[in-house]
Amino acid sequence: MNPSATSFLTMSDTTSVEYIFQVTTQGKGSMPAWKNLLNDADRRSIAEYIKRAFISNPQKK
């Protein structure tokens, strides 16, 4: 996985999980630092991480 993507996921602000999910899986929003840096495998990995860590276990929010 791209190191910049990994460091972005360690942010303490988890209120934008849905936004991160949309950016990585659907290409929505404006994330200039990520443009052309994530391949399909990276996007799937990030989406799975978000799903496991936040969406499927909402009390962690």
Q: Which domain holds residue 20?
A: 3-60
Q: What is the pLDDT of residue 1?
A: 47
Do residues 42 and 23 touch, judged by C-beta distance below 8 A? Answer: no
* pLDDT at 58 > cutoff 50: yes
Q: What is the pLDDT of residue 51?
A: 76
Q: How many domains are contained in the chain?
A: 1
Alpha helices in the chain, H assignment, sequence order:
3-9, 17-26, 40-50
Tell me how far apart the alpha carbons of residues 15 and 35 are, in angstroms, rounded to a whole number. 22
* pLDDT at 41 > cutoff 80: yes
pLDDT digit string (tens) for 6-39? 445 444 444 566 677 666 666 656 555 566 677 7
The sign of the CA dihedral 6, 8, 11, 13 is: negative
Q: What is the pLDDT of residue 42?
A: 80
